[in-house]
Structure 1
């Protein structure tokens, strides 16, 4: 049986290949923004490495009248908070080394949280980087819809989830939006 460390390594290699072979995937995914569930405040992320880029999606969401925010890690073993953000506003690195809004930005509560991932399955399973930031945050915000943002090619048959792994409500890829039961 493959452990999560090996699965993450293989998923990172696959995602890197997908990013290299399909550079327009993020723009195509942003074209499906109208299919996303309702929610006034939407949390995105600033893509790092081969994560599916959110630039086009942020512009499309803002054009659709949605308020945007980004996650901020203030403590390594705590849930993330969210701060209001619009494309072009300055960012700084948070405790985890991720680009985040400045402390002067308003703290907000998202209705929808779009999350990066390494792999997903048709049952809402999500394989993240392994830091637990999103799972801790999801458990603190059960009202927020959890949507993965990924390449369609990151789908796997079935992920084995641990007790602390929290399922997604849906996935947005370059091929469209899919809600999970």
Structure 2
């Protein structure tokens, strides 16, 4: 299957996910994610604002904002994506893609930990996103530190068609598994 076919099939499955299961699975994933990041020494973390039934990490963002950690969310500027600092979830504005983004222009590329959504991940940590290439381009220009992919278990596939510049994460967390890349 092509990336486009995989993208369409899995996105439909995710959008059709029953709301109760969506909340239950998201909660399990966030618990595992919380446990993982507690073990890590980090001062800054980049997450994402969930759309189209991506794993709901908003409770974790809310918790992190109450700590001394610096929290960042993606902000799209033209064909580029930057990580903008967030100090409150109230200080976001919808982008042209209708995704809430940081209002402030406080950007950083020195981020210790990234939590990255996807349409699908394979067992080697390669991802299929929406097809815009924003994360791939971002990590060509910025240091790749520790990357955690979060998806529902049905979004885990055997193999993703890859290109040399495709992003690969270090750890994938689903409601059922935690898969560390070797």
Q: Which TM-score tier does this pair reach, normalised by the shorter chain?
A: 0.7 to 0.9
TM-score by length of 2: 0.85
Corresponding residue number in structure 2 for 1:123: 124
CA contact (8 A) 2:22 2:53 kept: no
Shift of 1:26: 1.7
Alignment of 1:12-91 (within 5 A): 12-18=11-17, 20=19, 21-32=21-32, 33-36=34-37, 37-62=40-65, 65-76=68-79, 78=80, 80-91=81-92
Match of 1:180 in 2: 181
Question: How far did 1:60 drift?
Answer: 4.0
Runs of 5+ consecutive residues of structure 2 not aligned to the other structure: none
Q: TM-score, normalising length from structure 1?
A: 0.85
8 Å Cα contact 1:152/1:174 also seen in 2: yes
Deviations 1:22-60 (A, max 9, x none): 322222222121213442211111111121111122134
CA distance in 1, matches of 2:17, 2:98: 24
Give distance in 1, aligned partners of 2:169 and 2:72.
19
Q: Distance in 2 between matches of 1:175 and 1:17?
A: 19
The alignment covers a number of residue pairs equal to 177
Q: Using the alignment, how far apart are the partners of 1:126 and 1:19 within structure 2?
A: 24
Contact 1:44/1:58 (8 A) holds in 2:
yes
Q: Secondary structure at the match of 2:125?
A: coil
